[in-house]
Amino acid sequence: MSNQNSEPDMKLFWGCFIALITTAFAFITRAFLVNAEPFWPSTFGLNQVQAGELFGAGIWPFAISIIVFSLIIDQIGYRAAMLFSFVCYALYAVFAFQAYGIVMAEGLAGDALKAAQAEAYTKLYWGSVILGLGNGTVEAFINPVVATMFKKDKTKWLNILHAGWPGGLVLGGILTILLGAQAAEDWRILIYLIAIPAVVYLVMLLKAEFPVNERVSSGTSYKEMLAEFGAIGALIAGYLIYRQLGMVFGWSDNIVYILTAVSTIGYYLYCKSLGRPLLIFMCIIMIPLATTELGTDGAISGLMEEPMKEAGYNGLWVLIYTSAIMMVLRFWFAGPIIEKLGPLGLLTTSAILAIAGLYLLSSASGLAMIFVFATLYGFGKTFFWPTTLGVVSEQCPKGGALTLNAIAGIGMLAVGILGGPVIGKMAEDAVKVSVVSATSEETYGKISKDSTYFLGDYTAVELAKVDALEGDEKDTVKHSIQVGKQASLATVAIFPVFMLVCYLALTFYFKGRGGYKPVELEESKS
């Protein structure tokens, strides 16, 4: 085991920490650039669909590269992966600056301007894809590096490492707001902002001595690593990857199913394993887990917009506040809490707090109560992600970088493909109940339309129809829509309820085996 207190190890750790901060900076600045009117929407003439496409282009490659790089990272080395991530950040900046130059050329107007904006959009899209690949590659190398460095305290140090994500969101978000006036003059300043942590981690890690992965040092073969994940794990990951790519490139369902089947069968024929049941169980848990954390975080500002507005604040502060809680708890308190409760006890407690927080937030009013209940939710979601990575790393060390990172990739893909739309469906259902309760079925019928998604049909409100209403009816409907959105958080709580049942099942499982104990691999003498 590496000496946890040695300077080289800690310098390596802090380099990984800052690399994760870089991904958060990239995420928060892009969210600002894509959605805020004075920036990309104005510069490049983006509509809401294009803005959504650009934001998504930076997300799905993130998840895919985590999984793909995990298959090869032991062959190419952690340093190569680190350098690749930095190159991706640099290329993103180049593409963004090129897009800026295209639309800022002198004399552009009318059709010429539209043509320039279309050309620039292509630059921004592929730049965003490259950025997403870089972000995913960061996760692909930092997780196994830290897990290898701290073999005896994986869960603790993975929690501390992942304080970098909410910390980066808070710091990057505040800096973005503070630079708003300057960025309105030239949004490229927000691209430069990403360069600060990117250059820092490059300098810190360029000559660092990366550890040999635990799986490799034990003599566990590549085939054994694949067997740990197994064909069922490959089925889950493969389906989500091909489904996401199909959504991007317009593949039919049949193509997605064929690619998934071929990949899964090929995987099984090579490794002759369905996968460790415990790992497959953790993969299943990761789907509602990612939805509870990332899916809710993505929606909560909008869901809490009305009560926060009534209290005189922007709904975004709920996200910033809960992210700050995550940062503080992961960084300073993960170790003592894990020592006290154990990984499964911590996950069980977190699920209970998340359930309570989401349910109470669904009807909260007044600034004090909102933040009290947001504190419960913040405490609940804090330890889900890194503690799950810790459990997987401790129980499935033969899986090396693959099992550790694939489960993270599965979570990210699942929230984009499944979790996000399901939360949206829950919100629309709650809005329907609220509007009908406040007005009538007839009124709801006037402002809604039938639609469909991958799980079936649903009814959604059309804002243009709401704006067409007049007088008190319009005010009542708008208010009831916001009430319904907030109320949907009670339904979202079903995800941590499912997780709670799973964590209790795992607790009884390990109790029957003499208690939770990390699996350690002995280093090969060869």
| SS3 state at 252 | coil
pLDDT band at 38 (very low <50, low <70, confident <90, very high): confident
Average pLDDT over residues 11-36: 92
pLDDT at 2 over 50: no
Q: What band does 456 get if pLDDT is binned at 50, 70 and 90?
A: confident
Report the pLDDT averaged over residues 464-487.
Answer: 92
Q: How far apart are CA 431 and CA 477, in angstroms?
A: 10
Going from the C-alpha of 463 to that of each of 231, 459, 466, 481, the distances in angstroms are: 45, 13, 5, 10
Residues 393, 152: Cα–Cα separation, whole Å: 11
Domains of the chain are 1-212 (1.20.1250.20), 276-513 (1.20.1250.20)
SS3 breakdown of the chain: % helix, strand, coil, rounded to 5? 80, 0, 15
Q: Report CA Rg, the chain.
A: 23
User: Chain-wide mean pLDDT for the chain?
Assistant: 92
β-bridge mates for residue 451, sequence order: 458
Which of 190-194, 282-286, 338-342, 449-453 bottoms out in mean pLDDT, i.e. has the lowest? 449-453
d(C-alpha 407, C-alpha 66), whole Å: 9
Nearest-angstrom CA–CA distance, 18 and 196: 10
- Residue 7 confidence (pLDDT) above 60: no
Which tops the pLDDT comparison, 89 or 36? 89
User: Contact at 8 Å (CB) between 117 and 44?
Assistant: yes
Q: How far is it, in rounded angstroms, from Cα 65 to Cα 486?
A: 34
C-alpha distance from residue 160 to each of 5, 96, 122, 166 (Å):
15, 32, 38, 11
Hey, which residues does 461 pair with through a beta bridge? 448
Closest CA to 347 of 377, 384, 296, 315: 384
- Left if phi > 0, otherwise alpha if psi is -120 to 50, otherwise beta: which for 471? left
Which residues lie below 8 Å from residue 348, measured CB to CB, with a gap of 6+? 500, 503, 504, 507
- Please report the pLDDT score of residue 6 as a whole number: 46
| Cα–Cα dist 58/128, whole Å | 5
Choose the weakest-confidence range: 271-275, 315-319, 438-442: 315-319
Q: Are 101 and 120 in contact (CB under 8 A)?
A: no
Lowest mean pLDDT among 34-43, 163-172, 239-248: 34-43
215, 521 Cβ separation under 8 angstroms: yes
pLDDT at 290 over 70: yes
> Model confidence at 71, in pLDDT bands (50, 70, 90)?
very high
| 496 contacts 355 by C-beta, under 8 angstroms | yes
Whole-angstrom distance, CA of residue 105 vs CA of residue 119? 13
Higher pLDDT, 243 or 183: 243
pLDDT at residue 76, as a whole number: 94
User: Tokens in use for 33?
Assistant: 């650039």
Give 526's pLDDT tier (boundaries 50, 70, 90).
low
The torsion angles phi and psi of 289, rounded to 5 degrees, stand at -65, -50
The answer for 440, left when phi > 0, alpha when psi is -120 to 50, beta otherwise, is beta
Q: Identify the band that residue 352 occupies on the pLDDT scale cut at 50, 70 and 90.
A: very high
Cα separation of 280 and 272, whole Å? 16
How many residues comprise the chain?
526
> Residue 295: what pLDDT?
82
Q: Which residue do the tokens 């590549």 mark?
A: 222
Contact 79, 210 (CB under 8 A): yes
- Write the DSSP assignment of 365-418 as a string of letters: -SHHHHHHHHHHHHHHHHTHHHHHHHHHHHH-GGGHHHHHHHHHHHHHHHIIII
The tens digit of pLDDT for each residue in 385-442 reads 999 999 999 999 999 999 999 999 999 999 888 888 898 899 999 999 999 999 999 9
Neighbour tally for 162: CB within 10 Å: 29
Is pLDDT at 77 greater than 60 in this prediction? yes
Model confidence pLDDT, tens digit, residues 109-128: 889 998 999 999 999 999 99
Summarize the confidence of residues 270-288 as an average pLDDT. 97
In the block, residue with structure tokens 């190398």: 141
Q: Is the pLDDT of residue 306 over 50?
A: yes
pLDDT digits (tens, 9 = 90+) for 164-202: 999 999 998 888 878 888 888 899 999 999 999 999 999
Q: Cβ distance 149 to 217 under 8 Å?
A: no
Residue 351 in this model has a pLDDT that exceeds 80: yes
Please give the share of the chain, as a percent, with pLDDT higher than 70: 97
Q: What's the confidence (pLDDT) of residue 3?
A: 44
**Averaged pLDDT, 272-276:** 97
